[in-house]
Chain A
Amino acid sequence: MLFLYKTLKKENNNNMNNIEYDEIIKENIGKDNIFKNVFIAFFTGGLMGLFAQLLTDFFVNYYKININDAYFYTFCFFIIVGSILTGAGVFDKVLSICKCGLIVPSTGFANTMTSSAMDNKSEGFVKGIGANIFKLTGSIILYGVVFGIIFGFIRSII
């Protein structure tokens, strides 16, 4: 038994161990520049927010609808534009420039659903689109609802 253990240990010493290899990987690859991406996302996301606010104000002032309906229309506008741009094959190109500033708002949600549906279109309406449209967005919806309930509780207590 001891002999077997020793031979096994010896073999391990001859090969490179995993920690050493991880160090080689770290040395060569380094890290992505997160700050640049975060800054771009912050800026573009902020612009999107500004645009959404202007759009809401436009609905309220020009069409004279109440503010809650105006929010709803703005939301729909973003989803429709996101889906159409995804379908036209433009969204991913814009996204590579704007980074996460476009993923976090509802445009990202629309893009995820539309792209999943487009990918599985060829597999039919039931097993393709129906089964796969929530493949990526399913987790957003589920955890959105779960955390909505949790924070709703917290807010009602406070």
Chain B
Amino acid sequence: MTNYYSDVYINDYYSLLSSSKFNPIILDNVDEFINDYYMGEKTIEEAEVRYQELTIKKLIQKNKKKNISLLISGDLQNQILSSTLSASIFKIPYLGIYSACATFCEGLILASNLTNKKSNIIVTTSSHNLVSEKQFRFPVEYGALRKRVNTCTASGSVSALISCKKSKIKIESSTIGFVTKTNHKDTNDMGSAMAPSCAEVIKLHLKNTKRDPSYYDLILTGDLGIYGTEIMKKYYNKITNQELKNVIDSGSIFYQEENIYAGASGPACLPLILFNYILKQKNYKKILIVATGSLHSVLSSNLKLPIPSVSHAVSLEVDNEIN
């Protein structure tokens, strides 16, 4: 399903990075950098609540907005705990969403469809390295040996303000993807699980909008990782006989320091790279962001079920001359 929007804009954003592990590429550009997994709290779960609270609060303060009409947020914790807890601090109508690492794009699509002349909507997402290690993998200090295909969850949070007020980032159109499932069962390798859904949603978006891949200056994918990106390109080539050249994967470029992982992952990975690296470069006009989410749970991987995955695409038009 593809929707077109005539006057929806991302007015502002506020991003928080909370770990300097492996020297992230956005370290100097990010709005706020706090190298702390606990934020003065006793548990890591509460720390993630503080991440979201901080970005939402700072975003509201920065824009001096009093009447926020809706807050859409999501994260990786069970029953999106940190989103609901951080939403309970503000008295803003709230929608909680979950599609793993595709949460930010899902939020943008929802916000774009719900916005009208008077409303200001905040879309928030966050991820915490230790929380997702504890929840999806092994205990934090266990030190399980990693495969090359493993990704390392990025820690941080991003809030974006969406309204009809004109600004330099315009949301032009969006495509909601469908859930794909292959035989792939290895939860260490989420890139391979998400690659088909990513390729399918790009194909669907380009088909519905009758565009060519070269229409976009950049296709920014979510967190496929180094191997997942190559697999996605090959898959796309097989289903359409076209080649994707202008693809950057935000997970692959996230860490600068050499490490054992195939890149970064997590819902915060794509927006952190988009706002603090891609948009700061100012040489991309038309960007298609495709957030990819692997929708498995601990139970589903123990039951040895194939990993379902979903991706959503949002087309952005950037005009750097408008302030």
* A binding-site residues for B, Cβ under 8 Å: 15-16, 18, 20-22, 24-25, 27-29, 32, 37, 86-87, 89, 91-93, 95-96, 99-100, 111-112, 114-116, 118-119, 122, 136
Contacts and interface: CB of A to CB of B under 8 A. Distances in A.
Nearest to A102: B143
Contacts of B258: none
A32 to B, nearest CB: 6
Given A16-B235, A119-B134, A29 B192 contact: yes
Interface stretch (B7-15, B26-34, B71-79, B182-190): B182-190
A111 B143 contact: yes
Interface stretch (B91-99, B144-152, B242-250): B144-152
16 contacts: A15-B239, A16-B235, A25-B192, A28-B231, A29-B189, A37-B145, A86-B141, A91-B143, A92-B143, A95-B145, A111-B141, A111-B142, A112-B142, A116-B139, A118-B140, A122-B45
Interface residues of B, number: 29
Contacts of B142: 92, 111-112, 115-116, 136
Nearest to B231: A28
B114 interface: no
Nearest to A116: B139
B231 A115 contact: no
A92 B230 CA distance: 31
A28 B148 CA distance: 12
A119 B139 contact: yes
Interface of A is mostly: helix
Contacts of B184: 21-22, 25
Contacts of A119: 134, 139-141
A118 B134 CA distance: 11
Contact of A115 (B141, B145, B189): B141
B168 interface: no
A29 B148 contact: yes
A18 B139 contact: no
A118 B145 CA distance: 19
B238 A22 contact: no
Given A25-B192, A115-B140, A116-B139, 10 more contacts: A21-B184, A21-B196, A25-B189, A32-B147, A96-B143, A111-B142, A112-B139, A115-B143, A119-B141, A122-B45
